[in-house]
Amino acid sequence: MPANPQSSSLGLNTYKGTWQYLQTKHLLNRTLFGAKAADITYFKNLGLTAAVDELLNISTSLPTPPLNDYSSTTVLDPNVPLGKTWVNDFTTDGTLNSYRNSAYKKWLLSVWLGQEKNIREKLSLFWSNHFGTEADTIFYSNLTYNHHQILRTNCVGNFKQMVRAVTTDPGMLRYLNGYLNTKTAPDENYGRELQELFTVGKDGGAKYSEDDVKNAAKALTGWKLDASNNAIFDSTRHDTTNKTFSAFYNNTTITGKSGATGAQETDELLNMIFQKTEVAKFICRKLYRYFVYYYIDANVENNIITPLANAFIANNYEIKPVLKLLLQSEHFYDSLYVGCQIKSPIDHVVGFLRQYEIVFPDAVTDYVDSYFLYNSMVSQLIGMGQNPVDPPNVAGWPAYYQTPDYNELWINADTLPKRNKFTDLMIETGYTKNGKKIIVDTILFVKKVCTNPSDPNLLMDSLFAFLISTDIDPALKNTLKVQLLLTGQASDYYWTDAWNLYQTSPTTINFNIVNARLKALLKYIMNLPDYQLQ
């Protein structure tokens, strides 16, 4: 990543260059949590247009919901047996909600690892950061699950409809106190974040006022939660006065309404907000920073953000056309943007698990052991600074928005050693539960990545092409080949003979010789700073 940020002058014209391994891997790095070797081959063979179309084609089926993995002699769920889902069961029990939220995070790891060949999970994380909520604050586990299902099912759909759904979502009503917002005690939390973080933003000339925040809060009064935490509109709590907004909103007045029609003010508020072009530009900037690079100068603003925003508006705030324009553009495939992002902890951990095709016990039939092992991965993410469904606040994780550092915030003196320790551990010992181990199978891995692992030069090139997204000095590759694959010898056959001997005679001794060399090589590659980039 360049020390001084740069930007490409290329625009949104469709990329016409070569469609090879490098371009395919770049696309998948940004749209999936890690790509298997077979994924790269599959999408490379499709070609650019078909590849982007498939990534944006989200199936209507949703992942099997999370299960009860926690009932024991000390914790008993009276309504949900072991191995059954709790998402449709409401409970006020704090202990059960804590265990269920924990189960949700374990389940989420299984969903990420088993993601389909589309953008849904990577984009759902984007929206969960955009509409930042904390499971710990929402408290009720089924509300956390339902909130994220809204984001998952609408991820490439209509942004305005998603904002509407989120606005009266019980999880969001709890998180930002919308259920406490009444005519006698207006709560400005959601009215403020709706504008500042979810739609208009504060950059690019967005100058809404404090009175706009207050009036938005008044327009949203009346929503509350019933005894089962369903969202309902209570007209007796709604402010029926007129709400006049500032010149930024063209002095629009939302006429106060009484009775059940008071709920219409929510839609009128959103209609007013979505008349502002700042909404489209704000969201397109965030999408750009997530999928391309954090640096947006006048060049990118004029050539990329503005035309993307225009397309967003022209398509009535449909998300898919915007992403298709961006992911097919010559700008996206400029070499400047290949390997320029520091991986998030989720990209690092889940990407590793998918790259090495680590096999966990089945999350449905063997949920106890699989959830235990997935919890080890959750712990890794928390240690690296990205607690799933629990960002630090409503603004999300700072690495996605905090100028000027952005994704550089993922790496520090504490988190980098943890990243390296994780990959080393997965190479050396892995994790074990009831005799079931998740660990890198080095032999199987190199066979999937390289067409002829007996050739040390081809093997080195294949491993670096698969694991690293930046250019590596050929001298370093040669040094690693000699020192690690050839154990200091000069001739390539020191590796070729060892590999071929193991293939013809897979004894423990022959395995250990090959495995030890591969482990040392893979650990070295993943401890390079370049492995942290995608």
Beta bridge partners of 521: none
Residues 224 and 168: beta-carbon distance below 8 Å: no
Average confidence score pLDDT of the chain: 97
- The H or E element that residue 232 is part of is strand 231-233
| Cα–Cα distance for residue pair 79/90, rounded to 1 Å | 9
Q: Closest Cα to residue 462, out of 440, 484, 447?
A: 447
433 pLDDT exceeds 70?
yes
Q: Please state, in angstroms and as integers, the Cα–Cα distance from residue 65 to each residue in 288, 374, 432, following that order.
A: 31, 15, 25
| Cα–Cα distance for residue pair 180/387, rounded to 1 Å | 27
Range of the domain at 219: 1-341
Residue 385, domain member (yes or no): no
The per-residue pLDDT for 174 is: 97
Are 300 and 449 part of one and the same domain? no
Q: Which tens digit of pLDDT belongs to each residue from 267-324? A: 999 999 999 999 999 999 999 999 999 999 999 999 999 999 999 999 999 999 999 9
Q: How many domains does the chain have?
A: 2
Residue 246, domain member (yes or no): yes
Residues near 290 by beta carbon (within 8 Å), at least 6 away in sequence: 126, 400
| Cα–Cα distance for residue pair 27/30, rounded to 1 Å | 5
- The H or E element that residue 100 is part of is helix 94-113
Are 336 and 456 part of one and the same domain? no
Are 39 and 155 part of one and the same domain? yes
Answer with the one of 316, 341, 366 that is the final residue of a domain.
341
Are 318 and 193 part of one and the same domain? yes
Residue 382, domain member (yes or no): no
The per-residue pLDDT for 163 is: 98
60 pLDDT exceeds 90?
no
Answer with the one of 341, 369, 398 that is the final residue of a domain.
341
Residue 334 in tokens: 């400029």
Q: How far apart are the first and last CA of the chain?
A: 10
Q: Which tens digit of pLDDT belongs to each residue from 183-220? A: 999 999 999 999 999 999 988 767 899 999 999 999 99
Q: Is 189 helix (H, G, I), strand (E, B) or coil?
A: helix
Q: Which tens digit of pLDDT belongs to each residue from 225-254? A: 999 999 999 999 999 999 999 999 999 999
| Cα–Cα distance for residue pair 368/218, rounded to 1 Å | 48
| Cα–Cα distance for residue pair 427/520, rounded to 1 Å | 9
Residues near 478 by beta carbon (within 8 Å), at least 6 away in sequence: 460
Q: Is 432 helix (H, G, I), strand (E, B) or coil?
A: strand
Answer with the one of 294, 311, 341 that is the final residue of a domain.
341
Please tell me the number of Cα atoms within 13 Å of 198 on its side-chain side: 26
Helices vs. strands in the chain: H and E counts, helices first: 24, 6
Residue 360, domain member (yes or no): no
Q: What is the mean pLDDT of residues 395-416?
A: 97
| Cα–Cα distance for residue pair 62/234, rounded to 1 Å | 32
Q: What is the pTM of this model?
A: 0.96
Q: Which tens digit of pLDDT belongs to each residue from 447-458? A: 999 999 999 999
Please tell me the number of Cα atoms within 13 Å of 181 on its side-chain side: 33
Residue 369, domain member (yes or no): no
Residue 356, domain member (yes or no): no
The per-residue pLDDT for 3 is: 56
Query: How big is the chain, counted in residues?
Result: 534
Residues 239 and 218: beta-carbon distance below 8 Å: yes
Residue 421, domain member (yes or no): no
Residue 335, domain member (yes or no): yes
The per-residue pLDDT for 183 is: 97
Residue 61 pLDDT level (bands cut at 50, 70, 90): confident
Residue 206 or 368, more confident: 368
Residue 467 pLDDT level (bands cut at 50, 70, 90): very high
- 231-233 and 253-254 as β-strands: parallel, antiparallel, unpaired? unpaired
